[in-house]
């Protein structure tokens, strides 16, 4: 690779990172954090917490599952072979920008049928997932199919997926600040078979 191409790539990466961060800051200004805060009692009162999302939203929720586990909660990622059946008293946190992803909607249907609480993270409150949910957390980000770049210059649902990760980290930080457990105690739950 020539030095010129390397410099152009470096400039492009820097500019794109700045754009991504600016979009996330702009999105954060549009979020109703009082609505988001309603999730905290659901987390605190759940017997067990299940998380489900497809693709990159699912990866973001895997990160959230790890942090909630560090906090000492009983957490499962739906679809893993060791995930037990969901039941009454449990919480399902489901992320789908459109609220129409069939696997996510079906999981929400099953959870609701058992008496579990469903909380959705989505871009819309008018979807099959929203209808099944006791709580819908709205992230006003672009959906995967929004190719017009009116909400985000990023590809597909990238802004939504990033916001799911950042928002769930902020929720964890809020829970942790209220609890006050030292980081050293949380760290004892960190995976040691790495």
Q: Which residues are catalytic?
A: 161
Instruction: Provide the edge-to-edge strand list for the sheet that holds 117-122.
Output: 75-77, 49-53, 91-95, 117-122, 135-138
H or E stretch covering 190: none
* Structure tokens, 19: 């754009």
Q: Classify each residue of 149-172 as buried b or exposed e, where b means 16 or more C-beta atoms within 10 Å of its C-beta.
A: eebbebebbbbbbbbbbebbeebb
What phi and psi, each to the nearest 5 degrees, are found at residue 127? -155, 165
């Amino acid at each position: 690779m020539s030095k010129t191409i390397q410099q152009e790539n470096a400039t492009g990466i820097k500019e794109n990172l700045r754009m991504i961060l600016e979009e996330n800051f702009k999105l954060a200004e549009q979020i109703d954090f009082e609505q988001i805060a309603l999730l905290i009692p659901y987390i605190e009162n759940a017997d067990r917490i299940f998380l489900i999302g497809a693709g990159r939203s699912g990866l973001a929720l895997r990160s959230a599952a790890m942090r909630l586990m560090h906090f000492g909660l009983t957490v499962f990622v739906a679809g893993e072979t060791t995930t037990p059946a969901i039941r009454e008293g449990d919480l399902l946190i489901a992320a789908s920008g459109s609220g129409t992803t069939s696997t996510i909607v079906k999981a929400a249907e099953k959870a609701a049928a058992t008496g579990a609480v469903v909380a959705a993270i989505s871009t819309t409150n008018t979807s099959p997932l929203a209808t099944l949910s006791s709580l819908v957390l709205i992230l006003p980000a672009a959906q995967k199919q929004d190719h017009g770049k009116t909400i985000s210059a990023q590809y597909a649902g990238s802004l939504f997926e990033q916001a799911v990760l950042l928002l769930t980290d902020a929720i964890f930080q809020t829970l942790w600040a209220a609890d006050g457990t030292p980081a050293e105690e949380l760290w004892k739950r960190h995976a040691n078979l790495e």
